[in-house]
Amino acid sequence: MPLLALSIHRAFAVAVLSAACAHPAWALTSFEDVKRDFRSSDTAVLDRNGELLQRVRTDATVRRGQWIALADVSPALRTAMVLSEDRRFYEHSGIDWRAVSSAAWSNLWNTRTRGASTITMQLSGLLDEDLRRASGGRSFTQKIGQTVAATQLERNWRKDQILEAYLNTVPFRGEIVGIDALSRTLFSKAPSGLDAREAAVAAALVRAPNAKPALVAQRACEVLRAMEPERKVDCDAIDMFTSAAVQRRAFDANEGIAPHAARRVLREMRDAAATNPAAPQKGRDTSVRTTLRAPLQRFALDSLQRHLRELRDRHVEDGALVVLDNASGEVLAWVGSSGPLSHAAEVDGVTALRQPGSTLKPLLYGQAIAEKRITAASLIEDSSAQISTASGLYIPQNYDRQFKGPVSARTALAASLNVPAVRTLVMVSPESFARSLRAAGLPLRESGDYYGYSLALGSAEVSLLSLANAYRMVANGGRYGTTTLTAQPPASAADKAKAAAVAPLLDPRAAFIVGDILSDPNARTRTFGLDSILSTRFWTAVKTGTSKDMRDNWAVGWSQRYTVGVWVGNASGASMWDVSGTSGAAPVWAEVMRFLHAREPSRAPAPPAGLVEARVEFGPAADGNAIEAARSEWFLQGTEQPLFALDTGMATDAFAARITAPSDGTIIALDPDIPPLRQRVRFESEGRGVQWRIDGKPFARGNNAQWLPWPGRHVIELVDASGKVVDQRKLEVRGAGVVTKSARR
């Protein structure tokens, strides 16, 4: 070694030793700490068992992949990196004194060289912000500190740990940091699969991360020659390869099989952190575990996409699917769109608001049965109806534009007849039904009177998730519960007892009857036939629905353990062509149900207390035959009867006696400029032998009456011939009114 270089060597060593003495407690982290604190720029969304479902970019400032163990890095890359950055890496103890001397001698004579910074020294600069290289290079103090830190790293870390940490933290090009992000961005593969040519380009980028492609290619060619000295290297080919590689961006910001669920769960985490800053922060984690099942998610996505391909010629592009665990409310599958088949793949069909069509009918009939307005055997007329509303006559029609005459409520619901559903809503009232829907989690934007009687046919907009959860409520005996996408600790016995003590939103007996109707293949034959896609070999209850102008098609139902909801249509709102309740969403629903119960039974629920099973017969129709065949039917205790006919018994009274005007919740404003006697409210009803009561006092007899209102809140009741209240409306009168005593009577 030349004398001058030796002197420089000794002087530098003295400076290093002096710095080490001056800073004996130089901060040094452990390999385990570095690995633990490593943060990917992506968040890995996992299923309940830890399997990767989706990768989502959550840090826009840098591009990091996952931490890669050295054993998972290709041998070619390890070789290329050592040859390019630190040939004597496995020989020195952090400082390559030969390289230091050579660099010093070259700098003295203004000769450019590769420098004396070892991999260990570079790593120390990456780990310590105080030692990090600035745009103008490192100061002498930083270089001394870097040298001391490298010495300590070598003393406390193994060589394989140093190289592994370096490969995971070294910047490559632009925003890319670490070998995983580089491999997936530039070469579309994992680091374990990099070949010699790709490894040479990667090593060349460390030396000049943002250099022009030609310079990177030149450096890569030199590295490849050092790696394979016995082989002739085609530098022109490497130049072409490098130019293409450095422009590639194959590492998508978001990839996987559950993009919408991933965004939803990450948004929920951010919202939770924002509302409770004092809570432990999980946002630094680069993975989050969900309640989803990866095999089920894959099957559901495949089933939906496969079926939508078959419906392309019917102008169907989009779809969505959700699977809920009945007991816990955990979301087991969440398919927000048809992905590449859609022109609006970013729209989440699970949470988008759409018209549900006939899928609201089970909730309507459940409420009517719970309020004892009808039974499952009550006869409801399926015939042309003209219902007076504030905006004119409402004339509902059935899907096939035909009428079936008198049918039982069981048949009306299972066969999805529209007119009987509207007549049932007349009994319940739109406002009362709307309140029940909101209580069940359905996000109705307007009042029940705004939707009117079309609410029975699904004129309000709801999401697939909220609708499926409302069906889950019915499956759970009327008990409402929220859904969750994030894994939760098992509920304690106290929490379970508390949840069980909450009163159900829907009478468990009515919920059971609705489930029994929707699981009855015989009851749905008038519309769906005997051999329907809705019939499964195990117990399920299901309802389909189609919105106005065939814009949406739904199938929602439950088994003993699961609730499955499927929607197909077009995110744009365009109409489908010739898609029925059984050809749209139902086949996907049936496939997913079969997958769920391939090895798991589903049995019918046990009837709750307070139900009576009784034999019923039906009176004759116009042709002299029985309206429906005799059968065994479920009743709320006290509502059972042996015969249902058009002119006798509960069927006539429960159906025919009802208030048709005014609507429940009506607000009447008195105008002081109009004489009070001219501000009358007209009462209208259907049924025979009825009379009116206002605030508990008799008012008038017959189907029509006119009432002179006075300010306040009032209850209008309709009473049948036996004195039983069969329907009521609540209304409010506002403003100052002058009325006579006779008018009050």
- Which tokens sit at 666? 């009506």
| 42 confidence band (pLDDT: 50, 70, 90) | confident
Q: Which helix (H) or strand (E) holds 42?
A: strand 42-46
Least confident residue range of 97-101, 117-121, 378-382, 535-539: 97-101
Least confident residue range of 135-139, 153-157, 674-678: 135-139
Cβ atoms of residues 177 and 122 within 8 Å: no
Q: Average pLDDT in the 224-236 region?
A: 88
Identify which has the larger pLDDT, 76 or 144.
76
Cβ atoms of residues 409 and 375 within 8 Å: yes
Cβ atoms of residues 43 and 171 within 8 Å: no
Q: CA-based diameter of the chain, in Å?
A: 127
Least confident residue range of 3-17, 405-419, 613-627, 712-726: 3-17
| 401 confidence band (pLDDT: 50, 70, 90) | low
* Confidence at residue 582, expressed as pLDDT on a 0 to 100 scale: 82
Q: pLDDT for 184-214, tens place per residue?
A: 889 988 999 999 999 999 999 988 788 898 9
| 641 confidence band (pLDDT: 50, 70, 90) | very high
What's the rounded Cα separation, in Å, for the pair 677 and 408?
44
Residue 217 zone, left/alpha/beta (φ > 0; ψ -120 to 50; rest): alpha
Choose among 345, 208, 261, 355: nearest CA to 43.
Answer: 261
Q: Average pLDDT in the 590-599 region?
A: 97
Cβ atoms of residues 480 and 439 within 8 Å: yes
Q: Average pLDDT in the 368-396 region?
A: 79
Q: Is the pLDDT of residue 563 over 70?
A: yes
Q: Is the pLDDT of residue 745 over 70?
A: no
Beta-carbon count within 10 A of 708 CB: 16
Cβ atoms of residues 721 and 652 within 8 Å: no
Q: Average pLDDT in the 304-325 region?
A: 95
Choose among 591, 518, 630: nearest CA to 319.
Answer: 591
Using DSSP, state whether 305 is helix, strand or coil: helix
Written as one string, the DSSP assignment of 197-263 is HHHHHHHHHHHSTT--HHHHHHHHHHHHHHH-TTS---HHHHHHHHHHHTT---S-SEEES-HHHHH
Cβ atoms of residues 144 and 15 within 8 Å: yes
What's the rounded Cα separation, in Å, for the pair 636 and 656?
20
Q: Average pLDDT in the 103-113 region?
A: 48
Q: Average pLDDT in the 281-295 region?
A: 78
Cβ atoms of residues 474 and 362 within 8 Å: yes
Written as one string, the DSSP assignment of 397-411 is --TTS---EEEEHHH
* Confidence at residue 528, expressed as pLDDT on a 0 to 100 scale: 84
What's the rounded Cα separation, in Å, for the pair 712 and 694?
12
Q: Is the pLDDT of residue 2 over 60?
A: no
- Which tokens sit at 400? 């096939």
Q: pLDDT over 70 for what percent of the chain?
A: 84
Q: Residue 129 carries which side chain, given as an amino acid letter?
A: E
Q: Average pLDDT in the 630-639 region?
A: 96
Using DSSP, state whether 651 is helix, strand or coil: helix
| 292 confidence band (pLDDT: 50, 70, 90) | very high
Least confident residue range of 5-19, 397-411, 431-445, 731-745: 5-19
Identify which has the larger pLDDT, 494 or 173.
173
Q: Give the range with max mean pLDDT: 41-45, 127-131, 576-580, 633-637.
A: 633-637
Q: Average pLDDT in the 151-179 region?
A: 91
Least confident residue range of 28-32, 358-362, 515-519: 28-32
Q: Is the pLDDT of residue 140 over 80?
A: no
- Which tokens sit at 720? 């049948």
Identify which has the larger pLDDT, 143 or 133.
143
Beta bridge partners of 322: 334, 565
Cβ atoms of residues 554 and 357 within 8 Å: yes
Cβ atoms of residues 263 and 56 within 8 Å: yes
Helices (H), 440-507: 448-451, 464-475, 493-501
* Confidence at residue 742, expressed as pLDDT on a 0 to 100 scale: 39
- State the Rg of the chain over Cα: 37
b/e string for 304-335 if b means 16 or more Cβ within 10 A?
bbebbeebeeeebbbbbbbbbbbeebbbbbbb
Average pLDDT, the chain: 85
Identify which has the larger pLDDT, 361 or 667.
361
Q: pLDDT for 650-699, tens place per residue?
A: 333 334 578 888 878 788 888 777 777 778 888 988 877 889 999 999 99
* Confidence at residue 531, expressed as pLDDT on a 0 to 100 scale: 79
Q: Residue 272 carries which side chain, given as an amino acid letter?
A: A
What's the rounded Cα separation, in Å, for the pair 432 and 449?
9
Cβ atoms of residues 170 and 126 within 8 Å: yes
Beta bridge partners of 730: 715
Q: pLDDT over 90 for what percent of the chain?
A: 52
What's the rounded Cα separation, in Å, for the pair 740 and 745?
9
Q: Give the range with max mean pLDDT: 12-16, 56-60, 72-76, 548-552.
A: 72-76
Q: pLDDT for 446-482, tens place per residue?
A: 999 899 999 999 999 999 999 999 999 999 999 999 9
Instruction: Cis check for the bond before 24: say yes or no (omega within 30 of 0).
Output: no
Cβ atoms of residues 228 and 196 within 8 Å: yes
Q: pLDDT for 478-525, tens place per residue?
A: 999 999 999 877 777 777 677 776 789 999 999 999 999 999 999 998
* Confidence at residue 276, expressed as pLDDT on a 0 to 100 scale: 67
Cβ atoms of residues 149 and 128 within 8 Å: yes
